[in-house]
Amino acid sequence: MKKVKLSFSELMKENKEELLKDREQMEKIEKRLEEKYVGQK
């Protein structure tokens, strides 16, 4: 579907940035869950 063909290194870089964003999201979610569970005790 992409019109512009990215080079492999560009794809890897984009992928890494996506993964970093995902990791940040996961950490936020995990913190929120921890706070919720710790708050219940």
Handedness of CA 19, 24, 28, 31 (dihedral sign): positive
Structural domain contains residue 2: no
32 domain-assigned:
yes
Q: Model confidence over 1-41: pLDDT tens digits?
A: 556 676 889 989 999 999 999 999 999 999 999 998 887 75
* Inside any domain, residue 17: yes
Q: How many domains does the chain have?
A: 1
Running DSSP on this structure, what letter comes out for residue 4? S
User: Is residue 22, in this structure, part of any structural domain at all?
Assistant: yes
Domain that holds residue 23: 7-40
Q: Give pLDDT, residue 36.
A: 87
The structure's pTM equals 0.55
pLDDT at 38: 83
**What is the C-alpha to C-alpha distance for residues 27 and 29, in angstroms, rounded to an integer?**
5
Whether 14 maps to a domain, the answer reads: yes
User: What pLDDT, on a 0 to 100 scale, did the predictor assign at position 2?
Assistant: 58
